[in-house]
Structure 1
Amino acid sequence: MDSSISQSTRQEYISRINLVQDYIEKNFDQTFTLEELSDIAGFSKYHFHRIFSSFMNETLYHYITRQKLEKAANYLLHTPHKSITDIAYDLSFSNSAMFARSFKKHYGMSATTYRSMYSNNRKAGAVPPTYNEAVKTNEWRKSEMEMTYNVDVVDVEEMTVMYLRHVGAYSEFGKVFQEMISKLVTSASAKGLVNNFDIKLITIYHDNPNITEENKLRTSVCLVIPTDTNIDDDFGKMTIQSGKYAIGQFEIDNGTQHGDAWKYLYSEWLPQSGYQPDDRSSFEMYMNDPNTHPEKKHFIDIYLPVKPL
């Protein structure tokens, strides 16, 4: 088989699986059926579960259960007044006993023990990936003082994006990030969607690295497009939900301070803000090309979805 055809076919499969992932993530309160998800993917229900398993290295059932349990873990950390029974029903477990068994099997402890053990660390529990080791110590506080930043809470409108998705460790994502950006911009430019003065590039972190296994972390590199845009098969298309976001505007000296900016937002600003994290995904928006800045500074807006405490 021609290698270009083979690669195109594989990308089509990946794009369809991404559609299913996006649908699951937006509908955790539902009970999914094989027929429903295979229809979204455009595959026969008799083959879809095998296709999904071969690409994701886990069964469809395991993927859905794992995603819901990871969401439950976030609820346990960030919504301390929400009962475990309510969490179970919000994630469409048929009863609290089934949720309890599933949670203990996955995490090796009960939901009650998990909440008690980790709730003291919940301020930093959802911090997205960092690209250096400084956040594991207090070194981030020193570098944070060297950053210019501002945080505002803003109502943000829904955005439509085209995207490429990486599944795996953030260290591996960093190696392909620029290549993914280049592919997005090249495709969008060919459609007349991009000019040098109005381009919005975004990275969405779908999972909590403190909860999700490293090799299963999903990261989407996105470019904002008009809602009615038809995109090439190599790319996915989704919406970023509207709502209230804390937008941290950071001016940092180099890429290694990304983690410092996230750490400041979660560990310093958030506990004093009167807000708590909402249920939507956090993301970064890149406001400049650091290669064109005389001091190579990065201007980054971090969007943290929030709701009143």
Structure 2
Amino acid sequence: MDLDTFAKNIFDLEEHKKRMVKAIQYIDNNLDTELSLEKVGEIAAYSPFHFHRIFRLITGETVQNYIIRKRIEKSAFYLAVKKNISLKDIYLELGFSNHSTFSKTFKKYYGKSPSEFRKSAPEKFHTIQLKQSKNGQIDAVFQQYICNIENLLNWTTMNLKIKVTDLPEMNLAAVMSLGIANVEPSFNILVDWAKEKKLFPRENVKMISVYHDSFKVTPPDKVRIHACMLLDERLKQQERQVFPETIEAGKFIIGSGEMTLNDFEQCWVSLFLWMNENNYSVRKAFPFEIYHSNFKEHPEGKMIVDFCIPIN
């Protein structure tokens, strides 16, 4: 391969990733609308044929499967935590035309009807795990967490300093990660970009993870996480895999503590539980983590983290 061909291939790869970011963001922000292959392909500046092939190559699933999965996962979240919303309101909001289609599709993913799924959520906090059954169908398994509500709240009090406060708008540089295993490589891409821009290292630099999916309803290898860096000024446009993202100003529950990576799930579970116990409700925005230290520089692998939940 000559140098010109090599350079063109690298450019094409970066351009594909850039366009795919736009497509996925558009899908996730418009789950309540009609999302045709033609429309999403147009957003990404591809013909439907090429977009379908490239999307599947990059994400590991077809565009339609991705859209359906995202709608079903969001409906599962509503069923589990928003008991006051009717099934009809949920499936209509997420683009399903009738109860029969919604129920059949939901059961295919979680092994239960929406009504059964909602009833199965125990009073004690739980996580939802997906596992492959013997007959090849995917079942939803509600697994009781390590401890009951009382013990979990005690753990929260002992390990997290919690406050409710307003945060200003935050301008971020972000790299998309599909799957938990790809978060660290995404941060590496972000840091390399920041070094080129003389933005890293610098004093009090803040690295942030923004969660665009919930581990309760999305498998770890499908969760979309944005590896981010806080900037002093808004990034004007996407540069290779690095794109601008904004966390809007608003009210947040913030749980702060020194944790290992293995503590993160319990921190999130306990913080959402604290939110419910104190009668706060989640705002339509994404939760995120702010890192104040590097676990690789600590002898016990600990880091100082703010766990942030947007609330009304």
Moved more, 60-69 or 193-202: 193-202
Amino acid across the alignment from 1:250: G
Offset at residue 29 of structure 1 (A):
2.2
How many residues end up aligned between the 2 structures? 292
For the pair 1:243 / 2:243, whether they are aligned, the reply is no
The equivalent of 2:138 in structure 1 is none
For the pair 1:186 / 2:186, whether they are aligned, the reply is no
Q: Does the 8 A contact of 2:293 with 2:303 survive in 1? A: yes
For the pair 1:281 / 2:286, whether they are aligned, the reply is yes
Offset at residue 87 of structure 1 (A):
0.7
Relative to 1, partners in 2 of residues 1:31 and 1:154: Cα closer, same or farther, differing over 3 Å?
farther
Residue 37 of structure 1 is aligned with which of 37, 40, 50?
Answer: 40
Distance 1:57 1:185 in 2: 26
Q: After superposition, where does 1:213-232 map in structure 2 within 5 Å?
A: 213-225=219-231, 226-232=233-239
RMSD value, Cα: 3.2
SS of the equivalent of 2:221 reads helix
Q: Does the 8 A contact of 2:210 with 2:228 survive in 1? A: yes
Identity fraction in percent? 29
Distance 1:118 1:148 in 2: 26
For the pair 1:90 / 2:93, whether they are aligned, the reply is yes
Unaligned runs of 5+ in 1: 128-134
Q: Does the 8 A contact of 1:76 with 1:119 survive in 2? A: no
Distance 1:145 1:98 in 2: 41
Offset at residue 259 of structure 1 (A):
3.1
The equivalent of 1:120 in structure 2 is 123
Amino acid across the alignment from 1:187: W
Offset at residue 21 of structure 1 (A):
1.3
The equivalent of 1:154 in structure 2 is 165
Relative to 1, partners in 2 of residues 1:102 and 1:126: Cα closer, same or farther, differing over 3 Å?
closer
The equivalent of 1:234 in structure 2 is 241
The equivalent of 1:209 in structure 2 is 215
The equivalent of 1:265 in structure 2 is 271
Residue 78 of structure 2 is aligned with which of 66, 75, 93?
Answer: 75
Distance 1:18 1:92 in 2: 22
Offset at residue 116 of structure 1 (A):
0.5
Residue 103 of structure 1 is aligned with which of 103, 106, 121?
Answer: 106
Offset at residue 78 of structure 1 (A):
0.9
Q: Does the 8 A contact of 2:153 with 2:270 survive in 1? A: no
Distance 2:158 2:187 in 1: 25
Distance 2:154 2:35 in 1: 45
Distance 1:147 1:25 in 2: 36
Moved more, 33-42 or 81-90: 33-42
Amino acid across the alignment from 1:165: M
Offset at residue 145 of structure 1 (A):
7.3
| Cα deviation digits, residues 100-140 of structure 1 (max 9, x gap) | 2322233232111110012535x44489xxxxxxx953499
TM-score with structure 1 setting the length: 0.80
For the pair 1:47 / 2:58, whether they are aligned, the reply is no
Offset at residue 297 of structure 1 (A):
4.7
Relative to 1, partners in 2 of residues 1:297 and 1:61: Cα closer, same or farther, differing over 3 Å?
closer
Q: Does the 8 A contact of 1:204 with 1:283 survive in 2? A: yes
| Cα deviation digits, residues 165-220 of structure 1 (max 9, x gap) | 2223x3x34xx61x433331231232244462242211122222232233322222
Amino acid across the alignment from 2:241: D
SS of the equivalent of 2:187 reads helix
The equivalent of 1:26 in structure 2 is 29
Unaligned runs of 5+ in 2: 130-143
Amino acid across the alignment from 1:39: E
SS of the equivalent of 1:215 reads coil
Offset at residue 74 of structure 1 (A):
0.2
